[in-house]
Structure 1
Amino acid sequence: MAETKVSDVLAELADLEDPKVRAVNEKHGDDHGVNLTKLRSVAKRLKTNQNLARELWATDDTAARLLALLICRPKAFDRNELDAMLREARTPKVHDWLLSYVVKKNPHAEELRLAWFADPDPVVASAGWTLTAERVAKQPEGLDLPGLLDIIEARMKDAPDRLQWAMNTCLAQIGIEHPDFRARALDIGERLKVLEDYPTSPGCTSPYAPIWITEMVRRQQSK
């Protein structure tokens, strides 16, 4: 079976480029115009291919990097490799997929969470907070929840956008999943008013923490 060439994959991605998709993505800070459903179809056809994934990542092309994250072996990356990849992940979608599809499934995830959480680069720190929010919801043992709330209370209001979003997610998860800290989480959200005016589509829950917490708790209690 012939080995898939990076040049062929890049040509295919170029053929899938849609100016309308790019225009929508650019509003969110992403610089690609490939429909993600079509991108996933390409990934399904290529199947898992770690070498190709590394070559696609090295192109620095956003669509190629998203494809790389779909066909890679998450556990095959070492800690330093993932750290470098996160720092190279310029666009929000690549950043999000790297965390969701690769880092969370990698044995170095907790080590990276701790390192990124304290990083001076706010985009890198946002990754640490995203992984922390995941732990708050699914594996809170060992986390200092009051300490996290202290940091959120002191820093979230003036944090850069991506870091602020991740800290707000962590705040909401604490309020949703941990009744003992719910009142404080709600109070912090109400006083800081972060994302209070965020535009929310009909049928979607606002990311404003007090609304988010209240709605998710209501759903839990109505089951």
Structure 2
Amino acid sequence: MELNEIMEALKSLGNERTKKKYMSSGAKEPVFGVTISAMKPIFKKVKYNQTLAEQLFATGNYDAMYLAGMIAEPNKMKEDDFNRWIEGAYFYMISDYIVAVTLAETDIAFTVADHWIDSGKELTMSAGWSCYEWLLGTRKDSEFNRDKLLSMLKMVRDTIHKQPNRTKYAMNNFIMSVGISYLPLHEEAKEIAQEVGKVDVYVGKTLCQANLAADYIQKAIDKGKLGFKRKNVRC
């Protein structure tokens, strides 16, 4: 399939209800409102294709950008490519669930995520922390530096309540991911989760509370999910 064919297919699959849902979360025009399940037949036809992924992401259409993440070939991307993608990520569904997910499948994931965490930009920082969440949930504990992760946990403890909304949300998720999926720091993550307490996040003007990390970790323990790892980052 060529780019024009894919865009026409996406347009035909869009619906107003899904479009309104995406836009209420932060998506902006152009957006068709295509569900992820409706995209899967297109993915099966295109499969993995980095050239098309770049073309789709560059459209600025939210549905096309999501599909770009599905068909991307992450190990063909360099740091400059990921920086270009994160610059185009104008809301958290793109930064945390497209760009960060794609980055988590690469050999440069740790390096790029660290740079993003230090960027000072809300969605870029959010993507960096989110990338670690995906990494912790899929990679072996032996692939991580325990001292580095402990330092990051302490950074979250000391700064989370001063951070922008989406960064706070991603940092809170990081605590939970360490506590559940990285056994060497399980106890430390539980302790820091208690110290952090509730994390307030604004969605527009609406005040929401992120999951209480301590409760979330305990529920995972109760369900026997301690040490949980996914088989793949992308479904």
TM-score tier by shorter-chain length is 0.7 to 0.9
Correspondence for 1:202? none
> 2:3 is matched with which residue?
6
Structure 2 equivalent of residue 187 of structure 1: 194
State the alpha-carbon separation in 2 of the partners of residues 184 and 207 from structure 1. 16
Residues 189, 218 of structure 1: alpha-carbon distance in 2 compared, 3 angstrom cutoff: farther
For 1:83 and 1:24, how far apart are their aligned partners in 2? 27
Identity score, percent: 19
2:129 corresponding residue in structure 1: 129
Alignment of 1:134-213 (within 5 A): 134-136=134-136, 138=139, 139=141, 140-176=144-180, 177=183, 178-190=185-197, 193-195=198-200, 198=208, 207-213=211-217
Q: Shift of residue 128 of structure 1?
A: 1.6
Distance 1:142 1:153, change over 3 A: closer
User: 1:1-223 alignment to 2 at 5 Å?
Assistant: 4-31=1-28, 32=31, 33-95=33-95, 96-100=97-101, 102-136=102-136, 138=139, 139=141, 140-176=144-180, 177=183, 178-190=185-197, 193-195=198-200, 198=208, 207-220=211-224
* Deviation by residue 1:120-151 (Cα, 9 ceiling, x = unmatched): 11211112212233455543334434422332
Relative contact order higher in (CA < 8 Å, ≥ 6 apart): 2
Q: Which amino acid is 1:194 matched to?
A: V
| 2:13 aligned partner, one-letter code | L
1:67 alignment partner, SS class = helix
Gaps of 5+ in 2: 202-206, 227-235
Question: 1:174, CA displacement in angstroms?
Answer: 3.2
Deviation by residue 1:52-103 (Cα, 9 ceiling, x = unmatched): 2221122111111111221221111111111111121113222212222x21
Contact 1:149 1:185 in 2 (8 A): yes
2:204 maps to what in 1? Answer: none
Q: Aligned letter for 1:160?
A: P
Would you say how many aligned residue pairs link Structure 1 and Structure 2? 211
Q: Which has the higher helix share?
A: 1
TM-score by length of 1: 0.83
Question: Which of these two proteins has the greater Rg computed from alpha carbons?
Answer: 1
What letter matches 1:186 in structure 2? A
Is the 1:133–1:170 Cα contact (8 Å) retained in structure 2?
Answer: yes
User: Per the alignment, do residues 221 and 10 of structure 1 end up closer, same or farther by CA in structure 2, a change over 3 Å counting?
Assistant: closer
Question: Partners in 1 of 2:130 and 2:178 — Cα distance?
Answer: 13
RMSD: 2.5
Asked whether the equivalents of residues 47 and 71 of structure 2 are also in contact (C-alpha less than 8 Å), the reply is yes
- For residues 176 and 225 of structure 2, the distance between their equivalents in structure 1, rounded to whole angstroms, comes to 17
| In structure 2, distance between residues paired with 1:86 and 1:124 | 6
Q: Can you give the 5+ residue segments of structure 1 that lack an aligned partner in the other structure?
A: 200-205
Kindly tell me: are residues 99 and 19 of structure 1, through their superposed partners in 2, closer, same or farther at Cα, counting changes over 3 Å?
A: same
State the distance in 2 between where 1:16 and 1:144 align: 45
- Note closer, same or farther for the CA distance 1:17–1:215 as it changes in structure 2 (3 Å cut): same
